[in-house]
């Protein structure tokens, strides 16, 4: 049994190490938060629903394209759950841009009612990518 | 969407049960747990014994999260436990193959479940 205990501990140690390395890699290749604070964003979402949060600036032209793309995707859904679209001016709400590691605009998040980030995009997202993310909810 | 504490509970229980089974050399636990996960994968929440147990216990409810990743983890668990079951019963006990293809996959499920239950992985 001692031998098995050693094997078990070694297996958990190796597993934890591998997961740690993977998490580090994931954080480097996909930086940004896993959760947004819905209170920061003045969002009150019903359970089962979600929101697109788009970080923008007043001079950001592609940001308008992002909003049109989101509106188009939401309009096409056959039986949509209520989905909010909230823009955040990264210059006016600089503290949020820093907290959520916003390095470029537009940056778009799809979040659940509790703020859990389902997916995120930089620049103008592909409509199919938005639809796929909504289907994961 | 599912309660975020449900997969943590299920994975923690799987890790604990498989770890104990390995320590005490109770091979039967591997196919039994595999069948429990298979019922959940094929039958959905209604046939998920671990979810039923979770609902009965006084565990605080978590926030909703996407169901797809835990479901994928269950499919992986079923696959590895099936391989482990075949290894444990078809290969000569205590041979290298028995360790590699029997307890090996079962330990992988235990480790990955344990890590998933205790971290945000």
Q: Are A137 and B66 in contact, with CB atoms under 8 Å apart? A: yes
Q: Is the pLDDT of residue B75 over 60?
A: yes
If one counts every other C-beta atom within 10 angstroms of the C-beta of residue A29, the result is 7
Q: Which ipTM score applies to this complex?
A: 0.74
Cα-based distances in Å from A124 to A14, A60, A90, A121: 40, 11, 16, 7
B64 contact residues in A (CB cutoff 8 A): 47-48, 112-114, 116
Q: What is the CA radius of gyration of chain A?
A: 19
Q: How many angstroms separate the CA atoms of A71 and A54, rounded?
A: 12
Residues A2 and A58 in one domain: no
Find the distance separating the first CA and the last CA of chain B, reported in whole Å: 18
Residues A73 and A109 in one domain: yes
A40 located within any domain: no
Residues A57 and A26 in one domain: no
Using pLDDT thresholds of 50, 70 and 90, give the confidence band for residue B64: low
- Overall number of domains in chain A: 2
Residues A71 and A124 in one domain: yes
Q: pLDDT tens digits for A49-97? A: 789 999 999 888 899 999 999 999 988 886 666 788 999 999 999 888 8
Q: Is the pLDDT of residue A27 over 70?
A: no
CA distance B1 to chain A (A): 6
Average pLDDT value for residue range B34-54: 91
Residues A93 and A63 in one domain: yes
Q: Please, which residues bridge with residue A109 across strands?
A: A53, A120
* B22/A8 touch (CB, cutoff 8 Å), yes or no: yes
A128 located within any domain: yes
Domain interval for residue A105 = 50-135
Q: Is the pLDDT of residue B70 over 90?
A: no
A67 located within any domain: yes
If one counts every other C-beta atom within 10 angstroms of the C-beta of residue A53, the result is 25
Q: Would you state the structure tokens that stand for residue A92, as one six-digit string?
A: 């006016």
CA distance A20 to chain B (A): 9
Residues A18 and A69 in one domain: no
What strand order describes the sheet that includes A117-122? Answer: A83-89, A50-56, A107-112, A117-122
The CATH number of the domain holding residue A103 is 3.40.30.10
B68 contact residues in A (CB cutoff 8 A): 136
Q: pLDDT tens digits for A45-60? A: 766 678 999 999 988 8
* A34/B120 touch (CB, cutoff 8 Å), yes or no: yes
Q: How many angstroms separate the CA atoms of A6 and A3, rounded?
A: 5
Concatenate the DSSP letters of all residues of B26-65 into one string.
-TTHHHHHHHHHHHHHHH-GGG-HHHHHHHHS-PPP--EE
Residues A66 and A124 in one domain: yes
A96 located within any domain: yes
A84 located within any domain: yes
Residues A122 and A92 in one domain: yes
Residues A55 and A16 in one domain: no
Residues A9 and A75 in one domain: no
Percent of chain B with pLDDT over 70: 94
The dihedrals phi and psi of A97, each to the nearest 5 degrees, come to -60, -40
A35 located within any domain: no
| Longest CA pairwise span in chain B (Å) | 46
Residues A67 and A113 in one domain: yes
Residues A12 and A56 in one domain: no
Q: How many angstroms separate the CA atoms of A41 and A35, rounded?
A: 12
Q: How many angstroms separate the CA atoms of B43 and B32, rounded?
A: 16
Instruction: Answer with the residue of higher pLDDT: A97 or A23.
Output: A97
Cα-based distances in Å from A59 to A52, A63, A89: 20, 9, 10
A41 located within any domain: no
Q: How many angstroms separate the CA atoms of B112 and B15, rounded?
A: 8
């Amino acid at each position: 049994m001692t031998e098995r205990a050693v094997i078990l501990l070694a297996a958990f140690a190796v597993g934890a190490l591998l997961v740690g390395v993977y998490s580090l890699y994931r954080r480097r290749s996909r930086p940004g938060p896993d959760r947004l604070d819905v209170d920061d964003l003045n969002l009150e979402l019903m359970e089962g629903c979600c929101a697109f949060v788009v970080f923008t600036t007043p001079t950001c032209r592609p940001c308008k394209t992002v909003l049109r793309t989101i509106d188009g995707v939401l309009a096409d859904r056959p039986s949509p759950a209520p989905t909010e679209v909230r823009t955040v001016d990264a210059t006016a709400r600089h503290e949020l841009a820093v907290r959520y590691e916003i390095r470029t605009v537009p940056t778009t998040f799809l979040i659940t009612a509790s703020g859990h980030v389902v997916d995120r995009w930089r620049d103008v997202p592909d409509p199919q990518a938005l639809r796929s993310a909504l289907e994961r909810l | 969407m599912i309660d975020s504490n449900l997969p943590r509970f299920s994975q923690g229980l799987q890790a604990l049960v498989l770890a104990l089974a390995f320590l005490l050399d109770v091979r039967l636990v591997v196919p039994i747990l595999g069948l429990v996960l298979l019922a959940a994968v094929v039958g959905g929440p209604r046939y998920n014994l671990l979810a039923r147990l979770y609902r009965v216990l006084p565990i605080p409810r978590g926030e909703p999260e996407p169901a797809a990743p835990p479901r994928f983890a269950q499919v992986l668990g079923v696959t590895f436990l099936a391989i482990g079951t075949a290894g444990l019963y078809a290969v000569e006990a205590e041979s290298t193959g028995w360790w590699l293809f029997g307890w090996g996959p079962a330990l992988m499920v235990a480790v990955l479940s344990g890590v998933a239950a205790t971290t945000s992985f």
